[in-house]
Chain A
Amino acid sequence: MEVEHLWPIFFISLHAMVPITLAAIGETIEESAGLFNIGLEGMMLISALTGALGAEYTGSAVGGLLVGLSTGALLGLVFGVINTYWKGDQLITGVGINLLALGFVAFMLVNLGAPGFHIVPRDVQIKLIPLGVGAVSPLVFVTVAMAFVVYWLLHRTQLGIRIKAVGENPAAADVAGISVNAVRLGTAIAAGALIGLAGAYLSVDWFGAVTKEITAGRGFIALAIVVFSGLNPLLALLGGFIFGFFDGFATWVSTYPKIKEIIPWQFVAMAPYIVTLLVVAGAIGRVRFPKALGIPYLRE
């Protein structure tokens, strides 16, 4: 195999890395504060739709990304309020968001006239940056930068310490004068914004279209990456690239005639999910999670 055949896989991997990593970084922020959100799949899905519509409405790709980001933040607010001030059940809320997203996006796609499919016009999609051997989305750089920024934020700032205190021992944080619910709500909104950006990236940038299945389990893969990374955004970036590689590899193989004949595409498509299982199974044991993860805080 020639080197020039490998470049496309590398670029597909980079592009596949973006949504998974952004969502994983978002989830890392809220899990550090003790919120376990399995609704990120649905949040990405809704943001993919609103991002696409936002891009068309504002006539700009960046506008679309911002609309997606705000949608995610709004859903993060809903998740946050339910699971802080209203003391809701985090897993059930997550399932509710996922179901709601499935229905809402399908409903909107029907309303837009084309059931199951909506294309984002080329001129409002994100322009790729040409790099000689291939073109790359600016969001790839945003993702890498975000991993470093969030790492710094969580591990090197006072805010980061507060977030982790709330996740580890909310009662002690409360006594120390930190408002547990406010911090958790803040992380839920910030996480939602990143998850929303990940969703909008899918439609406005990577695929250039919205379908009901556009997220294809990427939200849950992001959850798995959070486990793999042990709440470290830099490891999440690495994990995102590994999964991006298999995701990209599956896409690439399905269009490569010789391989297509040997391995059926369905088995190649399974690869990212099987790898996720293997990596998560291998990662656990060395990873420690916040003590209060998933538990609503009730002041005694």
Chain B
Amino acid sequence: MHWAQALRKYLTPITESVLAGVIGLAIGAVIMLGYGYDPGAAYVSLFRGSFGSIFSWAESLANATPLILTALTFAIAMRGGLFNIGAEGQLYIGALAAVSVSLIHLPSPLHLIVALLAAMVAGMLWSLPVAILKLTRGVHEVISTIMFNWIAHFFAFYMIANVLTDPIRGEKTISIAETSRFARILPGSSLNYGIVVAVIAALLVLFLLWRTTAGFELRVAGHNPESAHYAGISRRKQVLRAFLIGGVLAGLAGAVQVMGRPPTYALVTGMSQVANLGFDGIAVAMIGRNHPIGIIFAAIFFGGLMVGGRIMQFSPGVPLELVRVIEGVIILALAVPELKRIFHFVRKRFSLRRQSHGS
């Protein structure tokens, strides 16, 4: 394909995402004005806090790491025409599995690999019943994944309080063994080699979707179920594929979060360091247009919002939660295909007016 053609193909979705981002920030600004905050100061501190220095970049990337993986979970299902919002629960289970592996002693690189594998298998197994219920009983995945998220939520609470509890500090699980932790990339920051795992996963998904028969079948099934059926592509296989790979990725997200994020390297009561990463991943996937490369950029943007949101909370004092309001607005904006048309319409009107002024 000619490069200009390729560029044009990617330009539309990128413009749409950027436009949605701008709308999100604009409505965020309106809300801030409504509550008496200074949006200008807030956004300056937000972007300084997220991308203003090497250190803040490192923090943003660290926050992006699990989001890349949970977004891939959603994206791979979406490419197959399925709406998997179960990354949240699978992520908890993956994190629990990774912590459990620290109950045993193993030498350094092996321990880390075993923990990652355990988390992947655990995430996959937690995802399996969703696929089975869909295939055998026709249960819509939106309902089953949410129910499994809640079951995972309470199961994790139980495991943290009763099974994996730290004997000295009862409010958290045992910490991940030193031999099973990701090393930090930038000393003093949260950025660790877990991000390499996330990026490799994204590249593997990219390869899988566009360079293998399995990925082709998945995309056809998602794009046009009828022709997939006539082409002899098994729907059963696609559903299993999408959910099982999704589960592996979400399990991995839980693992890199507990194995890589200083300082606790453990799950705490209330699971503050993993809670909502699955849901944020859905937003990341949508902004990244369910494309692995788009997802990496969208995750960095979101990771930045999370870090910058914390800074914004200190200096102009805007609550961090506003960031999630902005996320919601961005998603709503993305849901509207008409937006693009309205945007073009407005632009045309403006350019017409400018022309008439000129003449």
Contacts and interface: CB of A to CB of B under 8 A. Distances in A.
A230 to B, nearest CB: 13
Contacts of B154: 266-267, 269-270
A277 B336 contact: no
B326 A103 contact: yes
B255 interface: no
Interface string B316-339: 000101111111111110111111
B77 to A, nearest CB: 12
Interface string B221-249: 00000000000000000000000000000
Interface string B112-144: 000000000000000000000100011110111
Chain B binding surface SS class: helix
Given A87-B337, A276-B143, A270 B151 contact: yes
Contacts of B324: 99-100, 102-104, 106-107
Interface in A92-147: 92-93, 95-104, 106-107, 110-111
Nearest to B162: A264
B328 A270 contact: no
Contact of A224 (B138, B143, B334): B143
A159 interface: no
A67 interface: no
Interface residues of B, number: 48
Contacts of B151: 270, 273-274
Contacts of B83: 91
B338 A88 contact: yes
Given A87-B338, A107-B325, A285 B138 contact: yes
B148 to A, nearest CB: 8
A208 interface: no
Contacts of A273: 147-148, 150-151
A256 interface: no
Contacts of B142: 38, 91, 220, 223
Contacts of A220: 142-143, 146-147
Contacts of A110: 319, 321
Centre residue among B150, B332, B334, B338 by max chain A CB count within 10 A: B332
B55 interface: no
B8 to A, nearest CB: 23
Interface residues of A, number: 46
Nearest to A281: B137
Interface stretch (B173-181, B192-200, B278-286, B292-300): B278-286
B19 to A, nearest CB: 15
A267 B282 CA distance: 28
* Most chain B Cβ neighbours within 10 Å, of A267, A270, A274: A270
Interface in A241-300: 264, 266-267, 269-270, 273-274, 276-277, 280-282, 284-285
Nearest to A83: B335
Contacts of B339: 86
A85 to B, nearest CB: 8
A280 B298 CA distance: 35
Contacts of B326: 103
Interface string B167-188: 0000000000000000000000
B131 to A, nearest CB: 13
A92 B284 CA distance: 12
B157 interface: yes
B155 interface: yes
B328 A102 contact: yes
B325 to A, nearest CB: 4
A280 B335 contact: no
Contacts of A8: none
A49 B105 CA distance: 49
Q: Residue among A96, A101, A224, A277 with the most chain B CB within 10 A?
A: A96
A171 interface: no
B311 to A, nearest CB: 16
B35 interface: yes
B256 interface: no
A161 interface: no
B158 interface: yes
B332 A100 contact: yes
Given A103-B321, A107-B319, A88 B147 contact: no
B335 A104 contact: no
Contacts of B338: 85-88
29 contacts: A78-B332, A87-B337, A88-B338, A89-B335, A96-B331, A98-B279, A99-B331, A100-B328, A100-B329, A101-B328, A103-B324, A103-B328, A107-B321, A107-B325, A110-B319, A217-B146, A224-B143, A224-B147, A227-B140, A264-B158, A273-B148, A277-B139, A277-B143, A277-B144, A280-B137, A280-B139, A281-B139, A284-B138, A285-B137
Given A92-B331, A277-B139, 8 more contacts: A103-B322, A106-B321, A217-B146, A220-B146, A264-B162, A267-B158, A277-B143, A280-B137
Closest 8 A-B residue pairs measured CB to CB?
A100-B328, A103-B324, A96-B331, A106-B321, A96-B332, A103-B325, A99-B328, A266-B158
